[in-house]
Amino acid sequence: MRRISLKIGIGVFSWLVLSRGVLAEENDPLSIPDSDEGVPGAGPLRRTDWFRGVWKGRRSSWLNKTEKPQDSIVFLGDSITQGWGDDFRGFFGDLNVVNRGISGDTSRGLLLRLPGDVLDLNPKAVVIMVGANDLAEKARGETVFNNVKLIVTRLKKHSETMRIIVCETFPCAPDDYRPVAEIQKINALYAKTWANDARVTVASTYKLFAGSDGASLPKLLPDRVHPNISGYAVWAGAMHKIFRNLKLGDGAAYPHAWVHFSRNDREAVLFNGLYGYSMNRPAPLQLTMNVEPEPGHHLAFQWVTKDGLVSPIKIEVNGNALTRRPSSGDEKSPPLFWESIPVSEFGISKREHKGSYRIRISQPEGDRKDAFISGVRLISSPSQLKTLQLPEMTHEATFDFPGTKSESEKSSR
C-alpha cells in the first residue's frame, strides 16, 4: 500500500512540474523567464543577453510560422544539434527531419521549450543530445540525466507511438571545465535506465568521438566540443542505422551540393546515355557551388569513358589547381565512375565562412583526348555517392560559360 502511494505521489509531482513548465512556456515563448519559479527541472538556465538573443531569434524563426511540420523526426539540443543546419546539409536525404537546436542551451532549457518546439509538431520520433553546457555551468551529471528523464516522460505521455532516441553526451576536452567523469556518469545513467525500454533507444555516440583518455578526438571535434563536417558524417551514419532499425525510413544521404547535367544546360551533349560536357573544348567548364568550404569536404567528379581511363584533367578550386588522370580503379573498366578529391588538396585548411566553391575544369593544352563529365557532387562520405537520382533542392549552383553573359542554374543542397 505504501509502495502504491509512493508511485502516485511521484506521478503527481512529475505532472505538476511539467504543467508549471507549460504555463511558463505559454507566458512568452520568446523570452526566458527571469527567475526559476515555474520553470520545470533543475540546474542552470542561461540568461545572458547573448543567449536571450539567440533563444529569441531561433525560436521566432519557427514558432511564428503558420504551418508547422508534422510527423517529422525532431532533433532537440544545443549548438551541437544546431550545427546540423536547418537543412541538415543533405545528411538525411528525403527524410522529414526538423532542427530544434539552440546554441548555448541546457537540459533545463530543452525541458522548458519542449511544448512549443517539439510537442506541437506531433513528431514520430525525437532525437535528444545535450549536456555540454550544463557541465560548463558546473551542473552535475545527475542533473542532466534527471532533466532528460523528465523530457522522456513528457514525450511518452504525449504519444504512445513516438520513438525516442537519446544520444549519449559527446566527449569534450580533457580538462575540468566539462569533466570526463561527469559525461561518463550521464551516459551510464542513460544506459542503466533505458537499456530495456522498448520506447527509448540510447544511441552510443560517446565512443564515436572519444579517444583512449575519454576526451574528444580533435580530428572530428576540432574545438573539442563541436563536430566538423567529418564528425557530422560519423554521427549521421549512426543515426541512419537507428532509423532503419526503428523503421523510420531508409534516409539515403544526399550530397551537400550537386550538379547533374541535363539537356536543358547550355552546350550540354549526350554521351553514353548521359548529358554532360566533353573536355575537348576551347574554354574551361566553370561552376560555383554556394556552400562554405571546409576541411572534410570532397569534390567528386562523375566521368563517362569507354575504357575506365580519361586523359589528364586540370581542376582548379578557388584559385588552386592540380592536374590528375582520373581512373575508375576497376579492371572491368566501367563506362561511368566517380573520382573523389579531398578539398584539402586545394589548400582548404579551415572553414571559410561566407565563402563558396569556384571550380574550373579543363584539359591541359596539347592533350585533347576524349574526356566527358556528367556531374559534380560535394560530399563528406562515400555513402553520398550511392543515390543515383537526386531531386531538385534548395541551394543553387551556377554555371559560367566564357564568352557569354548568360548563366543557367541547377539546384543543389
Q: What is the CATH number of the domain that holds 40?
A: 3.40.50.1110
Q: Which of 115, 134, 141 is nearest to 126 (CA)?
A: 115
Quick one: 204 and 301 in the same domain? no
* 181 belongs to a structural domain: yes
* 252 belongs to a structural domain: no
How does residue 82 score in pLDDT terms, banded at 50, 70 and 90?
very high
* 297 belongs to a structural domain: yes
| pLDDT given for residue 134 in this prediction | 98
Judge whether residue 200 has pLDDT over 90: yes
Query: Which of 217, 245, 273 represents a domain boundary (last residue)?
Result: 245
Percentage of residues of the chain with pLDDT beyond 90? 69
| pLDDT given for residue 307 in this prediction | 67
Quick one: 130 and 277 in the same domain? no
Whose cell is 500500500? That residue is 1
Quick one: 8 and 68 in the same domain? yes
pLDDT tens digit sequence for 204-214: 999 999 999 99
Judge whether residue 167 has pLDDT over 60: yes
Instruction: Name the more confident of 20 and 300.
Output: 300
Contact 92, 75 (CB under 8 A): no
pTM of the predicted structure, to 2 decimals: 0.87
Instruction: Name the more confident of 24 and 233.
Output: 233
Q: Which of 83, 81, 86, 85 is nearest to 107 (CA)?
A: 81
pLDDT tens digit sequence for 22-55: 555 556 889 999 999 999 999 999 999 999 999 9
Contact 366, 312 (CB under 8 A): no
Quick one: 266 and 236 in the same domain? no
The set of long-range contacts for 393-397, using a CB threshold of 8 Å and a minimum separation of 24, is 393/90, 393/254, 393/258, 394/87, 395/257, 395/290, 395/291, 396/290, 397/257, 397/258, 397/259, 397/287, 397/288, 397/289, 397/290
| pLDDT given for residue 6 in this prediction | 42
Query: Which of 189, 212, 245 represents a domain boundary (last residue)?
Result: 245
Quick one: 236 and 356 in the same domain? no
| pLDDT given for residue 12 in this prediction | 47
Contact 73, 96 (CB under 8 A): yes
* 51 belongs to a structural domain: yes
pLDDT tens digit sequence for 332-353: 656 788 999 999 999 999 989 8
| pLDDT given for residue 410 in this prediction | 44
How does residue 169 score in pLDDT terms, banded at 50, 70 and 90?
very high
Quick one: 205 and 138 in the same domain? yes
Task: Give the other-Cβ count within 10 Å of 332's Cβ.
Answer: 6
Pairing of strands 274-278, 372-379: antiparallel
Which residues form the domain of 270?
A: 257-412
Judge whether residue 401 has pLDDT over 70: no
How does residue 278 score in pLDDT terms, banded at 50, 70 and 90?
confident
* 250 belongs to a structural domain: no
Q: How many domains are there within the chain?
A: 2
| pLDDT given for residue 366 in this prediction | 63
Quick one: 217 and 361 in the same domain? no
Instruction: Name the more confident of 149 and 18.
Output: 149
Give the CATH number of the domain where residue 305 resides: 2.60.120.260
Judge whether residue 408 has pLDDT over 60: no
- Here the cell at position 210 is 572519444
* 182 belongs to a structural domain: yes
| pLDDT given for residue 311 in this prediction | 81
Quick one: 218 and 276 in the same domain? no
| pLDDT given for residue 4 in this prediction | 45
Judge whether residue 137 has pLDDT over 70: yes
How does residue 8 score in pLDDT terms, banded at 50, 70 and 90?
very low
Percentage of residues of the chain with pLDDT beyond 70? 85
The set of long-range contacts for 278-281, using a CB threshold of 8 Å and a minimum separation of 24, is 278/370, 278/371, 278/372, 279/310, 279/311, 279/313, 279/361, 279/362, 279/363, 279/371, 279/372, 279/373, 280/363, 280/368, 280/369, 280/370, 280/371, 281/362
| pLDDT given for residue 224 in this prediction | 97
Q: Work out the average pLDDT over 256-269.
A: 87
Lowest mean pLDDT among 60-69, 270-279, 391-400: 391-400
Judge whether residue 370 has pLDDT over 80: no
Q: Which of 123, 194, 117, 197 is nearest to 162 (CA)?
A: 123
Query: How far apart, in whole angstroms, are the C-alpha atoms of residue 189 and residue 406?
Result: 60
* 251 belongs to a structural domain: no
| pLDDT given for residue 9 in this prediction | 46
pLDDT tens digit sequence for 290-306: 999 999 999 999 998 76
Quick one: 235 and 262 in the same domain? no
Pairing of strands 285-289, 357-362: antiparallel
| pLDDT given for residue 3 in this prediction | 46
Query: How far apart, in whole angstroms, are the C-alpha atoms of residue 282 and residue 270?
Result: 18
Judge whether residue 390 has pLDDT over 90: no
Query: Which of 245, 269, 295 represents a domain boundary (last residue)?
Result: 245
* 353 belongs to a structural domain: yes
Query: How far apart, in whole angstroms, are the C-alpha atoms of residue 119 and residue 130?
Result: 18
Mean pLDDT of the chain: 88
Quick one: 231 and 286 in the same domain? no
Quick one: 203 and 101 in the same domain? yes
Distance of CA 88 to the CA centre of its chain: 4
Quick one: 299 and 157 in the same domain? no
Query: How far apart, in whole angstroms, are the C-alpha atoms of residue 223 and residue 178?
Result: 13
